[in-house]
């Protein structure tokens, strides 16, 4: 006989129609004369033929009877208190004992959590939503919570219930979040959310806040514990907290983990030493498995350290289903991709980078997301994360959807996600992809395909405010980090603080410099005399933003050729041009980023499906170019004049920028407080100059500390025999000058010797 429950309530449970199964299922007290003397226990067990309630403390069993449905069970127990009961169930020929999820009513999410989330201000919402190990009333399990306000019902499906959405129906809190605790499951459990809309359509979704995911093409989320790893980078983190990266050397090696090197390929050769040869590479294999995070830590970190870079930048590391997207179409925003290992493995990789003096930057993609069925698209049967209007919610040329930055919960999802990678994985910075696509409503859209803002303009005011919030939050929690914008337009104050009205980034990629320099170096040197402004124009606007000079992956794909292939002339001139380009880049104000393979002169474009062409390093010109980059980074890091005043007007001064007839520019780089300076002279033609006079500010011996034409780099070895004394010969409006030998397609860096005076 049924007690209290009605046929309609049973019908709702059986057909997944109830917004709060706890109202029907689980244990409920029965009062008589104001006292609880009995309890009724109800369970919906779709695959069960018989069931009993077990009270472990009393070692008693109570048979359950069916009510209104052959799989809806209940029983009444004469007891005043009921805790931690179990169910013994028969499923076919099998029998098992389980804890009932509906016996645990405690919630990890408080009303205040939900309030902050609704406001868009719950910075660590990832500690509440998603799947979290928990212990309730002494029983261990996993607490699940998902935002799906427009769903009719949500269930958790996984290996633990044979992917049957009838078993673990969730309850709805505050009309926005669904939650349920499932006992006796733990780390490694695979799961998804089965979401039904009001029309009865079913969507099986990965967890938007899931910490791990199956290796593609599988798409289930995996329960993970992000607090089990023991970090050993406290010194690095403390030093970072008190540092200002804008006054430090920042030289970034950008790479894609999946195509840097595969497991069956030979290891990348080391630089030549005085005692031995570089290790030859006999073969490389495009079909091999990926290196794991552990293997990458062993191979990649020593390689990048040897080259002298300060940071590694990873193309998007968040989970993505399609290798060919390079990671830029993300489905698992809180999960490091499982291609290379589990979350703890990635923590180890970052930890090892820090212990070896390398910072870790990751590309972050809040501008769009793919339409894959298991992802965020149409998540609860409605346009939840994306705009419903395709004029605002879709990038047609990319086939992706655009986040609704004006919705508090969506903005909270993204802000918390940015913070998450700093919090849980100790990363040192983000490079935000495709910022221009976020800032402009008409980005890659024709007239009639976009909607103006409330003032009739094309600026996406909601996206701009979102970016300000992201940067304000991450810098508030983690001073000393980097937030870099890939922004290609003239949007003002991208790298200005939010309190001044800026977007709050501390660096912006200088796309104008990149295009000007590649156009300039791509032309025959004879024609460069007519395009001197390509070299000099960047200094007209250099102080408007904090710029990073980047020659990235985008410049070596889609028919653009790799860097050395862009250069004119014979093979010698191509290598010399590359050395001149990067020497100018590293002496020009701004932080630096370059993509993998440029350091040894790969000829072919980047191929995401294969390895870099490590075999080239058995040839001397490529070995020499690699040595050049190692020395260039060493010079950059050792000279404060090259990095302490990248963004102030006192850090750079032209000596002569008007010698277009020779395609020569010369300038000074000053350190803070004008304590040290360097003289940089660049000759961008193959014509050497045996007597080229350059004005200098002080008398003394000017030591040649770097020469891109040195013989050890494959150059012609022209130079100044270690340096030149100044002469009291006024030139370039300066009281002193030096008479230099300028090598062909060469860049010289000179520094006055503190122990030698010309007076």
Distance CA 120, CA 594 (A): 36
Q: How many residues does the chain have?
A: 759
Round to whole Å and give the CA distance between 222 and 648. 48
Question: What's the CA angle centered on 534, arms 533 and 540, to 5 degrees?
Answer: 65
Asked if 726 contacts 680 with a C-beta cutoff of 8 angstroms, the reply is: no
Residue 433 known to be catalytic: yes
Cα–Cα distance measured from residue 99 to residue 97, given in angstroms and rounded to the nearest whole number: 7
Distance (Å) of CA 211 to CA 57, 121, 131, 334:
36, 21, 8, 5
Count of CB atoms situated within 10 Å of the CB of 560: 14
3-state percent breakdown (helix, strand, coil) of the chain, nearest 5: 30, 30, 45
Q: Which helix (H) or strand (E) holds 364?
A: strand 359-364
E strand or H helix at 128: none
Taking Cα atoms as reference points, which of 359, 321, 308 lies closest to residue 706?
308
Task: Label each residue of 183-234 as H, E or C.
Answer: ECCCCCCEEEEEEECCCCCEEEECCCCCCCECCCCCCCEECCCCCCCCCCCH
> For this structure, is 486 an active site residue?
yes
List the one residue out of 119, 121, 116, 110 whose CA is nearest residue 145. Answer: 110
Q: Cα 585 vs. chain centroid, distance in angstroms?
A: 25
**Beta bridge partner(s), residue 154:** 195
Rounded distance, CA 423 to CA 127, Å?
11
Phi then psi dihedrals of residue 138, to 5 deg: 85, 0
Where do the DSSP E strands lie in 137-185?
A: 139-147, 153-158, 171-173, 177-183
Give dist(CA 460, CA 552) in Å, integer. 26
How far apart CA 214 and CA 221 sit, in angstroms, is 6
Q: What are the phi and psi torsion angles at 42 (to 5°)? A: -125, 145
Write down the catalytic residue from 254, 433, 487, 611.
Answer: 433
Q: What are phi and psi of 227, to 5 degrees?
A: -110, 10
Both tokens of residue 711?
């013989």
**For residue 146, which of 179, 175, 122, 171 has the smallest C-alpha distance?**
179
Strands 591-595 and 547-551: parallel
Q: How far apart are CA 669 and CA 650, in angstroms?
A: 9
Neighbouring CB atoms inside 10 A of 162's CB total: 10
Report the side by side order of strands in the sheet with 72-78.
26-32, 35-44, 72-78, 65-66
Torsion, Cα 469 470 475 477, to 10 degrees, reads 100
Angle 564-508-598 from CA coordinates, rounded to 5°: 15
Catalytic residue among 486, 599, 611, 639: 486
Q: Rounded to whole angstroms, how far apart are CA atoms 73 and 51?
A: 7
189 contact partners, CB below 8 Å, separation of at least 6: 131, 142, 158, 159, 160, 222, 223
Residues noted as catalytic: 433, 486
């Amino acid at each position: 006989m049924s007690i209290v429950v009605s046929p309609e309530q049973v019908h709702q449970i059986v057909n997944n129609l109830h917004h709060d199964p706890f109202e029907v299922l689980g244990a409920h007290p029965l009062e008589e004369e104001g006292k609880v003397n009995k309890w009724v226990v109800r369970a919906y067990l779709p695959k069960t033929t018989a069931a009993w309630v077990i009270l472990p403390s009393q070692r008693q069993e109570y048979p359950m009877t069916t009510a209104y449905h052959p799989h809806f069970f209940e029983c009444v127990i004469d007891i005043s208190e009921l805790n931690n009961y179990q169910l013994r169930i028969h499923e076919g020929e099998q029998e098992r004992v389980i804890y009932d999820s509906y016996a645990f009513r405690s919630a990890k999410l408080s009303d205040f959590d939900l309030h902050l989330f609704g406001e868009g201000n719950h910075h660590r919402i990832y500690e509440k939503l998603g799947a979290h190990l928990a212990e309730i009333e002494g029983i261990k399990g996993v607490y699940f919570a998902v935002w799906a306000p427009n769903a009719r019902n949500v269930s958790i499906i996984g290996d633990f219930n044979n992917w049957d959405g009838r078993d673990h129906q969730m309850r709805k809190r505050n009309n926005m979040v669904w939650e349920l605790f499932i006992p006796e499951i733990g780390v490694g459990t695979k799961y998804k959310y089965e979401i039904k809309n009001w029309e009865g359509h079913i969507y099986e979704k990965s967890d938007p806040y899931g910490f791990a995911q199956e290796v593609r093409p599988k798409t289930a989320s995996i329960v993970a514990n992000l607090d089990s790893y023991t970090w050993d980078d406290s010194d690095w983190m403390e030093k970072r907290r008190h540092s200002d990266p804008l006054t430090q050397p920042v030289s970034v090696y950008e790479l894609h983990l999946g195509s840097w090197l595969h497991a069956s390929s030979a290891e990348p050769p080391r630089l030549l030493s005085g005692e031995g040869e570089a290790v030859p590479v006999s073969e490389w294999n495009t079909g091999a498995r990926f290196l794991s995070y552990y293997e990458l830590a062993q191979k990649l970190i020593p390689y990048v350290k040897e080259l002298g870079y300060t940071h590694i930048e990873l193309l998007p590391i968040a989970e993505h289903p399609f290798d060919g997207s390079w990671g830029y179409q993300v489905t698992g925003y809180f999960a490091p991709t499982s291609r290379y290992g589990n979350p703890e493995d990635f923590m180890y990789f970052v930890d090892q980078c820090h212990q070896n003096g390398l910072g870790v930057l990751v590309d972050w993609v809040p501008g769009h997301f793919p339409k894959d069925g298991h992802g965020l698209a149409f998540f609860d049967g409605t346009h939840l994360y994306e705009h419903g209007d395709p004029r605002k919610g879709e990038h047609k040329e990319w086939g992706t959807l655009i986040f609704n930055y004006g919705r508090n919960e969506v903005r909270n999802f993204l802000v918390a996600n940015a913070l998450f990678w700093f919090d849980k994985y100790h990363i040192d910075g983000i490079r935000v992809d495709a910022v221009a696509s976020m800032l402009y409503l008409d980005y890659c859209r024709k007239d009639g395909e976009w909607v103006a803002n409330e003032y009739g303009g094309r600026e996406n005011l909601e996206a701009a405010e979102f970016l300000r919030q992201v940067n304000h939050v991450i810098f508030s929690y983690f001073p000393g980090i980097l937030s870099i914008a890939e922004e290609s337009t003239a949007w003002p104050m991208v790298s200005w603080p939010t309190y001044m009205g800026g977007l709050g980034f501390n660096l912006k990629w200088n796309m104008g410099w990149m295009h000007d320099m590649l156009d300039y170096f791509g032309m025959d040197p004879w024609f460069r005399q007519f395009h001197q402004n390509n070299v000099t124009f960047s200094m007209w606007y250099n102080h408007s933003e904090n710029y990073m000079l980047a020659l990235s992956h985008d410049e070596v794909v889609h028919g653009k050729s790799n860097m050395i292939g862009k250069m004119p002339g014979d093979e010698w001139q191509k290598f010399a041009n590359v050395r001149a380009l990067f020497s100018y880049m590293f002496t020009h104000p701004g932080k630096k980023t370059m993509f993998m393979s440029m350091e040894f002169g790969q000829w072919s474009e980047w191929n995401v499906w294969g390895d870099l062409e490590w075999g080239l390093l058995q040839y001397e010109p490529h070995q020499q170019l690699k040595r050049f980059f190692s020395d260039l980074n060493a010079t950059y890091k050792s000279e404060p004049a090259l990095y302490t005043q990248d963004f102030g007007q006192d850090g750079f001064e032209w000596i002569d920028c008007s010698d277009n007839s020779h395609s020569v520019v010369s300038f000074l780089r000053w350190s803070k407080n004008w304590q040290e300076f360097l003289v940089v002279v660049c000759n961008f033609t193959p014509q050497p100059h045996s007597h080229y006079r350059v004005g200098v500010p002080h008398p003394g011996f000017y030591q040649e500390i770097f020469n891109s034409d040195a013989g050890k780099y494959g150059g012609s070895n022209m130079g100044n025999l270690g340096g030149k004394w100044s002469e009291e010969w006024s030139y370039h409006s300066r009281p002193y000058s030096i008479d230099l030998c300028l090598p062909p397609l060469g860049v010289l860096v000179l520094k006055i010797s503190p122990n030698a005076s010309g007076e």
